[in-house]
Structure 1
């Protein structure tokens, strides 16, 4: 496939010309950065052919390293150059933007049409449920060909196979946080004609893909056929529709993968992290995005949820998290990662503390809530969840991990009434652990970061305060550690 077709040069130039953008930011992941200079040169040449008079006034700026996940639109980086829009290249989570319009270039990965059609038809014949075909966005260019070839080769099962709609390559900012789970406009209808009409039904959306089920049907009635790689987008599908039978077609190897036991174990791991989060006293909220619409609403919602559960919360902004960064905050018992749907699942086995998602936090910190098996990844569905009801925080609960009853800290409103000079001492006294052979009662270790810091053995450098008068400055040594200039022994 030629360069201009792979990067949709013509459609990109037309998008810029139609909306009269003059400052355009181009966002590349690391693996596509090698093509950035050539792409800018080809795109500028195409713009000259469309607008010969003022094409030179259009500024194209390449953004290489993003502060957060490369799948999200980097509106913060684009705002540094006062960009009018962002051209996003490569894999994307299709999360809604807050302030800037975006144009997505998914790329066009190669796929064997005939082999894929044969795999879909064979799976449909062996399955007694209708099939819903989902796919990675890099294969969106070939879905219409696959559907046409499937209708021609296996007419007997065509009514049992439905395809998700290809998302529109452009996106405009979403201001209404209550409608963040709404789907984007589709550029082509890949579903059956019976489903595309005005009949009532349920619309599903995930990772930019949308499809509609007839009234009275649910996703549990379908089997999912995924075309694409085993990546974050596929993990999002597995967790969201964990009650459905799912198979994956690997286009690079031209074979079907039916063993998804590794992906199924993710749910068990996430449930274990939820149980650990219930015993946490200090929660660190990691800001994993500054561009996805609704992230501030979710952070405030999580802050209210944590404080209502009688725990302490800190908001941390550090870009892409890693074990070394989070190790600087050992007082946090658990971290809550507010990010897009496809980067929220961090494998926290190497971290000192578990990292959970906002949906898992609603289960862990809402007293009396239970996990029904449903899983929510996107901001839209999470924002529309019912408001948390305050429970009885003084009542002890049973901890499955500690094997005893745990009494959470009191609500912070009760602590504010204490005297300021005695608050830290009283909280430290309450942090002691009490154990009895008959009735086990466990209380947490620390209630705040300040208390944790006060109980540390090493508290950093201490400046003596005996002599408070200004002191003259001292000239330090010159040279290298191997041999300073004032040393007598020089080699």
Structure 2
């Protein structure tokens, strides 16, 4: 059903979108809609084109070539788009070539009803945690959760402040105390109390959307070259934005003092972060406005960094932000229920970012999901945090009375089933002889580096690898390659096919393939789905095996037999060990085929001496003319 014209302005952020396009200097703008919002696409197009006039041309993209949660740079490039406006839920993965602005959905959420359902469940989980750790002992209070991490789906982020006030407000605390008294269990009691009244729950940590706009790495390189000198530009082009200051560029704490203040004091990203334009028609004042806006968003206006620590560009940045391939706006501080706690580590996943209290591990926290049950983001979060305690609340299916049945406890059954199967698929990938690298994204920044890393890992494990680019994969397409034992799907975390039971060959994630090719197993506390983690793993694995001794091991050849392989093979796949290894498809066929065909010098055979032709046998195979009866009898037996 189409949205009424009066609601388009607010639901689709028309004013903010127009400001982003004009301040970026973009001339050709692509609009990417999900299937559920296509009915509104003509009206949104008409309103935007009317507002922009002849200053920019707007067009609507057709079906996406890959994951609809990602930016479809392939379709946008067909009409030479300068930027993409992405509507609906998004993976917020680093972009590869085009800037992007995101307009998230606005779905209804009653914050008071959600808080009334969640707070008793949180109090019950806290009481159970303390009871399991020591009951009523003096150390029981310290054994509770260090924090409650509230992960709100992108469709409900516009209600985040209302939900925060409802969960942390005094009215919610009183309701929890009443619920604790009526249940007969001292829920959420304080350290020295006897449980007669409710006590403050663990501090709340609210996850925020990491960015409203993304820029490719090239924009960062241009900014570094303009303000920090050639050395910084070379450092930025080397791979990460954090490399620019390290290469001898700005590096000073005063480089982006305004950005540091914004990072230290911002609760969440501004509604409309401005991005430096990369369009050909952009003016110098538009560029300057984009750089200033980057500093306001917590980024450096000169070198392009967005992971700016409190000390400026010269201070060390977090490892998570340093691996990002595009500039994003992140939140680096989190307000808890009582005081503002300095975070020790920041986690960014599925487009959300949150910081745990200092000294807290993720296993020490209770995770609360507010959003659709079984959504791709919910599944990714639970798979990567499967050893943690979970509460899930779906506003779309919740009742207005806020009953206890509205909150689901623990990891979902579907996620548990998928995790069990992932261990089996890692073993299948370890035994594979031919690995197919399935490229399922062309817009995620760094995907080419991940493909190169997987190729190196396959070569080091003496396995043949082939790269496939076939659009959206399905069983019929991949069934055309029966020689491939396992496919490695290179895509962002929310675009992966995790249930591949209908496929002829199993599909594994890049992280699982890296584990299988290096001889390791899945660990529940260290399961990852992000592409950047594969690069870190490959680098660490190369360092561990650099000085490893060569040894021989028996490996399976697709269940057909055993062969000798070298554990210490180099990047070329060799390393001795008594195994003849094919380097390409032609060598593989020459080694594995039993019939070689006619041998002649053209095929590599040695030239033979010339011989006179001789007369051969005549007759039938059952009995040649020159064959004696005794010979015929012997041949028959």
Quote the residue 1:395 is aligned against. 553
- Matched-pair contact (CA < 8 Å) for 2:30–2:81: yes
C-alpha distance in 1 between matches for 2:115 and 2:587? 72
Q: Does 1:223 align with 2:366?
A: yes
- Matched-pair contact (CA < 8 Å) for 1:181–1:378: no
C-alpha distance in 2 between matches for 1:94 and 1:201? 23
Quote the residue 2:58 is aligned against. 60
Quote the residue 1:340 is aligned against. 492
Shift in Å, 1:186 = 4.2
Task: Give a deviation string over 1:258-296, Cα, whole Å, max 9, x none.
Answer: 262221221101111111111111111100100100000
Q: For residue 437 of structure 2, give the secondary structure of its aligned residue in structure 1.
A: strand
Task: Give a deviation string over 1:2-61, Cα, whole Å, max 9, x none.
Answer: 2221111111111112212111111112222221111111222333xxxxxxx3231101
- Matched-pair contact (CA < 8 Å) for 1:283–1:335: yes
- Matched-pair contact (CA < 8 Å) for 2:347–2:355: yes
Quote the residue 1:173 is aligned against. 216
Q: For residue 350 of structure 1, give the secondary structure of its aligned residue in structure 2.
A: coil
C-alpha distance in 2 between matches for 1:273 and 1:160? 39
Q: Does 1:212 align with 2:377?
A: no
- Matched-pair contact (CA < 8 Å) for 2:555–2:565: no
Q: 1:370 aligns with which of 513, 518, 521?
A: 521
- Which region of structure 1 is more displaced relative to structure 2, 26-35 or 69-78? 26-35
Which of 1 and 2 has greater Rg? 2
Shift in Å, 1:359 = 0.4
Shift in Å, 1:302 = 0.2
Q: For residue 419 of structure 2, give the secondary structure of its aligned residue in structure 1.
A: helix
Where in structure 2 are the equivalents of 1:255-270 lying within 5 Å? 255-258=406-409, 260-270=412-422
Where in structure 2 are the equivalents of 1:65-464 lying within 5 Å? 65-128=63-126, 129=145, 130-152=147-169, 153-155=171-173, 156-157=199-200, 159-174=202-217, 176-177=239-240, 179-180=323-324, 184-186=328-330, 191-192=335-336, 199=342, 201-229=344-372, 230-254=374-398, 255-258=406-409, 260-367=412-519, 369-373=520-524, 374-385=526-537, 386-388=540-542, 389=545, 392=550, 394-397=552-555, 406-407=562-563, 413=574, 415=580, 424-428=589-593
Task: Give a deviation string over 1:64-97, Cα, whole Å, max 9, x none.
Answer: 2111111111112212212111000112111010
> Given the superposition, is the C-alpha separation of residues 248 and 193 from structure 1 closer, same or farther in structure 2, using an over 3 Å criterion?
closer
- Matched-pair contact (CA < 8 Å) for 1:124–1:157: no
Quote the residue 1:475 is aligned against. none
Quote the residue 1:463 is aligned against. none
C-alpha distance in 2 between matches for 1:261 and 1:405? 37
Q: Which runs of 5+ in 2 are unaligned?
A: 127-144, 174-198, 219-238, 241-321, 399-405, 595-637
Shift in Å, 1:323 = 0.4
- Matched-pair contact (CA < 8 Å) for 1:27–1:63: yes
Aligned CA RMSD, in angstroms, stands at 3.0
- Which region of structure 1 is more displaced relative to structure 2, 356-365 or 376-385? 376-385
> Given the superposition, is the C-alpha separation of residues 421 and 100 from structure 1 closer, same or farther in structure 2, using an over 3 Å criterion?
closer
- Which region of structure 1 is more displaced relative to structure 2, 286-295 or 343-352? 343-352
C-alpha distance in 1 between matches for 2:492 and 2:73? 14
Task: Give a deviation string over 1:133-174, Cα, whole Å, max 9, x none.
Answer: 002111110011110122222345365222112333111113
> Given the superposition, is the C-alpha separation of residues 333 and 398 from structure 1 closer, same or farther in structure 2, using an over 3 Å criterion?
closer
C-alpha distance in 1 between matches for 2:364 and 2:325? 22
C-alpha distance in 1 between matches for 2:8 and 2:438? 39
Q: For residue 377 of structure 2, give the secondary structure of its aligned residue in structure 1.
A: helix
- Matched-pair contact (CA < 8 Å) for 2:95–2:325: no
Q: Does 1:10 align with 2:15?
A: yes
C-alpha distance in 2 between matches for 1:217 and 1:12? 39
C-alpha distance in 2 between matches for 1:387 and 1:132? 32
- Matched-pair contact (CA < 8 Å) for 1:182–1:205: no
- Matched-pair contact (CA < 8 Å) for 1:224–1:245: yes
Q: For residue 157 of structure 1, give the secondary structure of its aligned residue in structure 2.
A: coil
C-alpha distance in 1 between matches for 2:325 and 2:517? 24
- Matched-pair contact (CA < 8 Å) for 1:30–1:64: no
Task: Give a deviation string over 1:341-366, Cα, whole Å, max 9, x none.
Answer: 11123311000010000100011111
Shift in Å, 1:251 = 0.8
Q: For residue 465 of structure 2, give the secondary structure of its aligned residue in structure 1.
A: strand
> Given the superposition, is the C-alpha separation of residues 365 and 422 from structure 1 closer, same or farther in structure 2, using an over 3 Å criterion?
closer
- Matched-pair contact (CA < 8 Å) for 2:33–2:41: yes
- Which region of structure 1 is more displaced relative to structure 2, 184-193 or 283-292? 184-193
Shift in Å, 1:397 = 5.0
What TM-score do you get using the length of structure 1 for normalisation? 0.78
> Given the superposition, is the C-alpha separation of residues 387 and 16 from structure 1 closer, same or farther in structure 2, using an over 3 Å criterion?
same
- Matched-pair contact (CA < 8 Å) for 1:310–1:393: no
Shift in Å, 1:423 = 6.5
Higher share of residues assigned helix: 2
> Given the superposition, is the C-alpha separation of residues 119 and 317 from structure 1 closer, same or farther in structure 2, using an over 3 Å criterion?
same
Q: Which runs of 5+ in 1 are unaligned?
A: 48-54, 430-491
Q: For residue 127 of structure 1, give the secondary structure of its aligned residue in structure 2.
A: helix
C-alpha distance in 1 between matches for 2:553 and 2:60? 56
C-alpha distance in 2 between matches for 1:93 and 1:420? 37
C-alpha distance in 1 between matches for 2:106 and 2:583? 63
